[in-house]
C-alpha cells in the first residue's frame, strides 16, 4: 500500500495529465498527439539499442566511416553500429525526396504518378535526368532537377509548414527553396530517419493515406517471393567536403518488416559512393539473414 499522500499526489498528477491532454486535443486535434507520441518513442529508442560493433568490418573494408541502424518492428528491438553517427544530424541529400514527394502529391503540385514535368533542355552529367519525367521515374533515378522544380512550384512557405508538421530533423529550410536539403541547412540524424520511415510505412504521417501508399509504392526497389526491399538513396557533402551516402528504407520477409538506415562518410573525392553504400547495406542485411525468405 502506498502512503495516503503518495496516492493523493498520483491522482492529482493523473488529473493534470488528462486535463493537459484534453486541452491540447481541443486546440490542435488528435493527430499532433499521435505524432508527439511517435517522436518521443524514437527519441528514446537509442537508449535501449543493441550495439553491434561487429559491423565495423564492412565499413573498414572500404576505408570509410559510417553507421547502420535497424528496427525490428515485431519486437521493437533496435540495433546500432556507431551510436555517435546514428544520433548526429547530417544533410539528408536525396533522401529528402521521400518527404518532398509526399508534399507534392498532397498539395496537388504533382497531380498523380502520370503527371510529367518537362525537361528544361539543360544537359546534365546524368543522362537519365535529361528528359521529361513523371514522379515515379524521377524518384527511381533521383533526378535533382525534377525535384528542384517541384520545390519551386510548392513554394518556400508551404514546404516549411510541412517540414515543421512532421518535425523533420532540425526543420531548417533556410536558403534557396530548391536546395536547402542539399546545402547543409536542413539536417537529420539516422535515428530520426528511422522514425520517419516507420511513420510512413504505417500511414502515420499527416498526409492522405493514398498519398503515403503512392510514395511507398514508388520506394519499392526489389520484389520477389523471398523478400520486398524498399529504399531511397542520397548522396551529399558535409561542410568539410566529405561525401555522405545514405540508404534509408525497409525490408519485408514473411509479413515482417524491418526498418534500416545506412550512412557512409568518406573524404575520398574519387569514392564510388553509389556502389559502396549499397554493398555495405546488402552485406549487413545478408549477415543478419535476409534475402532468403527465412526471417
- Residue-level pLDDT, tens digit, the chain, 295 residues: 444 333 333 333 333 333 433 333 333 333 333 333 334 344 435 568 999 999 999 999 999 999 999 999 999 999 999 999 999 999 999 999 999 999 999 999 999 999 999 999 999 999 999 999 999 999 999 999 999 999 999 999 999 999 999 999 999 999 999 999 999 999 999 999 999 999 999 999 999 999 999 999 999 999 999 999 999 999 999 999 999 999 999 999 999 999 999 999 999 999 999 999 999 999 999 999 999 998 8
Phi and psi for 262 in degrees, rounded to 5?
-115, 135
Instruction: Please identify which of the residues 45, 94, 230, 243 carries the catalytic annotation.
Output: 94
d(CA 225, CA 162): 36
Reading the block at residue 73, the C-alpha cell is: 518492428
| Calpha distance 243→23 (Å, rounded) | 46
Alpha helices in the chain (DSSP H): 4-28, 30-45, 56-60, 83-86, 97-107, 135-140, 144-154, 156-165, 190-201, 209-219, 273-287
DSSP string, 250-266: EEEETTEEEEEEEEEEE
Q: What is the pTM of this model?
A: 0.85
Q: Is 94 a catalytic residue?
A: yes
The CA R_g of the chain, rounded to the nearest whole Å, is 21
Short-list 49, 44, 38, 59, CA closest to 197: 38
Residue in this structure with the C-alpha cell 523478400, named with its chain if needed: 227
8 Å CB contact between 118 and 164: no
Q: Which residues contact 85 (CB under 8 A, 6 or more apart)?
A: 65, 66, 67, 190, 263, 265
| Residues 117/149, Cβ–Cβ less than 8 Å | yes
Amino acid at each position: 500500500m502506498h502512503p495516503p499522500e503518495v496516492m493523493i499526489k498520483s491522482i492529482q498528477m493523473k488529473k493534470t495529465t488528462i486535463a493537459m491532454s484534453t486541452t491540447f486535443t481541443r486546440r490542435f486535434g488528435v493527430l499532433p498527439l499521435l505524432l508527439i507520441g511517435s517522436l518521443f518513442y524514437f527519441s528514446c529508442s537509442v537508449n535501449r539499442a543493441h550495439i553491434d560493433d561487429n559491423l565495423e568490418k564492412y565499413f573498414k573494408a572500404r576505408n570509410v566511416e559510417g553507421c547502420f541502424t535497424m528496427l525490428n518492428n515485431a519486437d521493437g528491438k533496435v540495433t546500432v553500429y556507431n551510436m555517435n553517427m546514428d544520433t548526429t544530424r547530417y544533410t539528408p541529400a536525396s533522401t529528402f525526396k521521400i518527404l518532398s514527394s509526399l508534399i507534392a502529391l498532397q498539395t496537388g503540385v504533382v497531380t498523380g504518378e502520370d503527371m510529367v514535368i518537362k525537361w528544361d533542355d539543360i544537359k546534365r552529367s546524368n543522362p537519365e535526368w535529361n528528359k521529361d519525367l513523371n514522379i515515379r521515374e524521377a524518384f527511381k533515378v533521383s533526378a535533382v532537377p525534377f525535384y528542384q522544380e517541384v520545390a519551386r512550384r510548392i513554394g518556400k512557405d508551404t514546404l516549411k509548414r510541412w517540414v515543421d508538421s512532421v518535425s523533420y530533423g532540425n526543420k531548417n529550410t533556410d536558403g534557396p527553396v530548391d536546395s536547402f536539403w542539399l546545402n547543409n541547412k536542413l539536417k537529420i540524424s539516422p535515428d530520426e530517419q528511422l522514425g520517419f520511415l516507420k511513420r510512413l510505412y504505417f500511414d502515420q504521417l499527416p498526409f492522405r493515406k493514398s498519398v503515403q501508399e503512392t510514395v511507398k509504392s514508388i520506394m519499392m526497389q526489389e520484389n520477389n517471393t523471398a523478400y520486398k526491399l524498399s529504399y531511397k538513396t542520397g548522396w551529399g557533402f558535409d561542410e568539410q567536403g566529405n561525401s555522405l551516402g545514405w540508404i534509408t528504407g525497409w525490408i519485408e520477409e514473411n509479413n515482417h518488416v524491418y526498418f534500416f538506415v545506412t550512412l557512409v562518410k568518406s573524404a575520398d573525392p574519387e569514392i564510388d559512393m553509389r556502389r559502396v553504400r549499397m554493398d555495405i547495406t546488402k552485406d549487413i542485411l545478408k549477415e543478419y539473414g535476409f534475402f532468403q525468405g527465412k526471417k
